[in-house]
Amino acid sequence: MTTAAPAVEAGGLTKTYAGGVKALDGMGVTVAAGTVFGLLGPNGAGKSTTVKILTTLARPDAGTARVAGHDALRHPDRVRRAIGVVAQKSGADPVATGRENLLLQGRLHGMRGTALTARADELLARFDLAAAAKRQVRTYSGGMQRRLDVALGLMHRPQVLFLDEPTTGLDPEARTAMWQEISRLAGDEGLTILLTTHYLEEADRLAERIAIVDRGRVVTEGSPDELKGELRGDAVHVELRDAPDEVDARLLATALGEFAAVREVAVDGRRIAARADDGPAAVPHVLAVLEQQGATVASVTVARPSLDDVYLRYAGRRFADAEEAAGAKSAGGAA
Amino acid sequence: MSTETLHQTWYMTQRQLTAIMRQPIFLVVTLVQPVIWLFLFGALFHKVVELPGFGAGSYLDYLVPGVVVMSAVSSNMWAGMGTLEEIERGTLNRFLTTPVSRAALMNANVVQQGLSTAAQSVLIVLLGKLGGADYPGGVLGLLVLIVVSALLGTVFGASSNAVGMLVRQRESIIGINSFLLLPLTFLSSAFMAPGLMPSWMRHVAAFNPVNWALVSGRSAMAADPDWGDVLGRGGALLALAVVAVWLSTRTFRSYQQSV
Ligand SMILES: Nc1ncnc2c1ncn2[C@@H]1O[C@H](COP(=O)(O)OP(=O)(O)OP(=O)(O)O)[C@@H](O)[C@H]1O
Ligand SMILES: [Mg+2]
């Protein structure tokens, strides 16, 4: 399974739009088959442009893109058969009913007869749209429309699913439900998923690997834990029941310091602070050392660095600030 | 064209026709407008037939093909607005990432617009009949009129779609249309017999596709049709329609650059 070719493999992508906007500047992404990959970045980073190229909608100025084993630039038709696309903008036909939208989508993929209708009804049930199946889509709530969008992307059982901001605009409850559905797709159905998001939390929760995108290229990539681990250090805080005297405190610090997994040990009264590459893994060892030294532990907490910290480090600005800057830019420019 | 493309064309056409049927306001507006033209122009120009050299018995007889053709132009030239809406909504992009053939997407527009234009034309012809118009060319003549108006509609519909995809701006379509509709109509024999037009206008009209449709339709509707005129102008319209559809299908490529 791990030897299979990547489901998505793109590199050196550049694209400049007519107005001179450089949307992509050496963008690249590789997604292993059967995994969920997250593209995380602020407004205007180039996430949607990347998705449009990988889904054969747009053409890059330069670079290569292979999806599901086919060259997206030379054989877009083959790629289209293998992919499901949920674009940032809902593509459903508002005047058609939910079911009609699904049936047409299936037909365009060559599905016919009972295979077609059974699949449509299965998806309507699964996305909790069965009751609204015969209503025109313009009467749907935002959450219902988004669920229909995902159902449309899944209609023909694609190998690779692209989700461009699947949860933007959803309320927390709908978002949680969508997260569960996406996790299920990845888990039970072995689908390869490339999703884009603004939400650090979403990428952290859904994606096995994440690429942080800023200004048209990937600034860093890894599993959420790797990325956070690269910040060299969870903060480990231990509170002792009794404050050690000065000598004991020095002994404790020395004992902990001998042990490679933790650094920057500081004992201050009852509180011991240290940094560890992998905080949770270090906790049992820290506890063992303290017990050996005869200290009684009242509590232990591990604070992990957030993806926001990662973003700050690689993009050189806070995620929220980048969002704000992009927002101000687009509000100032023409619509 | 493969059978799959034909199937796809049908599915996409069906979608558009269903949408039209579900928006009755839209239907009413496209039908009320020709009715107004028919009766306004009919009342206004009632007496022009008395001018020496006009050459028709009743102005209504003369007017019906004029309104059929003008309506075909004016309703199809807005097709680009629908395309623009589909682009903005993301529907076109969704279709473009499925294996549907580009030809099927464009052909569906053509078929739907052709059917709508034909329905509209039939209705105007019936209204004219109700008002007392005479169609000496019989059913065959009317059929030719409806076919050429659908062809003319295709020329304008396909061009409008192409403009919509290229410029992606409502204002441009509105501007182009308001600029074109009246000159195209009045530089033709829609409301005035060619014999009474200034000669420069007659020369310009010879190159105006709107006039081709009128000449072809009116010839076929005459008691004694000149089939050379009918087929000559009709053939030219067909050729133009094919070119317009081909060009609009090509605009998908430039759309891909700007999407
Ligand atoms: N069709 C277009 N024409 C011109 N410029 C465009 C077009 N699409 C995107 N851009 C520009 O390209 C850049 C990247 O846009 P893109 O949509 O890929 O960003 P994104 O990461 O998806 O942002 P968001 O989070 O807001 O969706 C932006 O500066 C944007 O303004
Ligand atoms: Mg985007």
Number of C-beta neighbours around residue B50 at 10 A: 8
- Is residue A298 pLDDT above 60, yes or no? yes
Task: Provide the β-strand partners of residue A302.
Answer: A236
With cut-offs at 50, 70 and 90, classify the pLDDT of residue A1.
very low
Nearest Cα residue in chain B from A154: B98
With cut-offs at 50, 70 and 90, classify the pLDDT of residue B42.
confident
Task: Provide the β-strand partners of residue A24.
Answer: A15
What pLDDT sits at residue A2? 47
CA nearest to A87, candidates A187, A29, A6, A162: A162
Closest in B23, B97, B258 to A18, CB measured:
B258
Start and end residues for every CATH 3.40.50.300 domain found in chain A: 8-228
Q: Taking residues A37-59, report their average pLDDT.
A: 94
Q: Which residues of B touch A90 (CB under 8 A)?
A: 89-90
3-state per-residue secondary structure call for A288-321:
HHHHHCCCCEEEEEEECCCHHHHHHHHHCCCHHH
What torsion do the CA atoms of B118, B123, B126, B131 make, to the nearest 10 degrees? Answer: -130
Q: Does the CB of B25 have a partner CB in chain A at under 8 Å?
A: no
CA nearest to A118, candidates A82, A157, A153, A150: A157
- Whether A303 lines ligand 1, by a CB cut-off of 6 Å, is no
What pLDDT sits at residue A334? 34
Whether residue B214 lies inside any domain: the answer is yes
CA distances from A251 to A67, A136, A258, A294, B168 (A): 58, 73, 11, 11, 73
Whether residue B17 lies inside any domain: the answer is no
Whether residue B111 lies inside any domain: the answer is yes
Number of C-beta neighbours around residue B250 at 10 A: 13
Q: Whose CA is nearest to atom 30 of ligand 1?
A: A44
Q: Which of A14, A16, A21, A53 to mutate to test the pocket of ligand 1 (most atoms within 8 A of CB)?
A: A21
Nearest Cα residue in chain B from A21: B258
Distance from CA of B84 to the nearest CA of A (A): 13
Task: Provide the β-strand partners of residue A62.
Answer: A14
- Taking CB atoms and an 8 Å cut-off, how many pairs form between chains A and B? 78
Q: Whose CA is nearest to atom 10 of ligand 1?
A: A23
- Whether A24 lines ligand 1, by a CB cut-off of 6 Å, is no
pLDDT digits (tens, 9 = 90+) for B160-191: 999 999 988 899 999 999 899 888 988 998 88
Q: Taking residues A159-171, report their average pLDDT.
A: 92
> What spacing in Å lies between the alpha carbon of A111 and ligand 1's midpoint?
33
Whether residue B16 lies inside any domain: the answer is no
pLDDT digits (tens, 9 = 90+) for B219-244: 999 999 999 999 999 999 999 999 99
Q: What token pair was written down for B13? A: 């056409």
With cut-offs at 50, 70 and 90, classify the pLDDT of residue A66.
very high
CA distance B210 to A170: 51
A interface test, pick of B94, B169, B171, B252 with most A CB neighbours within 10 Å:
B94
Nearest Cα residue in chain B from A112: B7
CA distance A29 to A11: 6
Q: Whose CA is nearest to atom 11 of ligand 1?
A: A23
End-to-end Cα spacing for chain A? 46
Start and end residues for every CATH 3.30.70.2470 domain found in chain A: 232-304
What pLDDT sits at residue A317? 63
CA nearest to A159, candidates A186, A128, A180: A186
Give the list of residues 6+ apart from residue B201 with CB closer than 8 angstroms, or none: B187
DSSP string, B173-206: HHHHHHHHHHHHHHTTTSSS-GGGS-HHHHHHHT
- Is residue A332 pLDDT above 60, yes or no? no
Window from A175-184, A199-208, A256-265 with minimum mean pLDDT: A256-265
Whether residue B216 lies inside any domain: the answer is yes
Task: Provide the β-strand partners of residue A14.
Answer: A25, A62
Considering the domain delimited by A8-228, tell me its CATH architecture: 3-Layer(aba) Sandwich (3.40)
Q: Whose CA is nearest to atom 24 of ligand 1?
A: A43
CB A138 within 8 A of CB A174: no
DSSP at B13? H
- Whether B259 lines ligand 1, by a CB cut-off of 6 Å, is yes
With cut-offs at 50, 70 and 90, classify the pLDDT of residue A67.
very high
pTM (2 decimals)? 0.83
Whether residue B235 lies inside any domain: the answer is yes
Host domain of residue B89: 3-9+23-258
| Residue whose token pair is 């560890």 | A276
With cut-offs at 50, 70 and 90, classify the pLDDT of residue A316.
low
With cut-offs at 50, 70 and 90, classify the pLDDT of residue A189.
confident
**B258–A17 C-beta distance less than 8 A:** yes
CA nearest to A54, candidates A33, A37, A68, A35: A68
Q: Structurally, how many domains does chain B consist of?
A: 1
**B19–A107 C-beta distance less than 8 A:** no
CA nearest to A53, candidates A20, A22, A37, A76: A76
Amino acid of residue A156: H
Considering the domain delimited by A232-304, tell me its CATH architecture: 2-Layer Sandwich (3.30)
Q: Which residue has better confidence, B34 or B155? A: B155
CA distance A308 to A291: 35
Half-sphere exposure of A124 (CA within 13 A, CB side): 21
> What spacing in Å lies between the alpha carbon of A327 and ligand 1's midpoint?
12
pLDDT digits (tens, 9 = 90+) for B86-140: 999 999 999 999 999 988 998 999 999 999 999 999 999 999 999 889 999 999 9
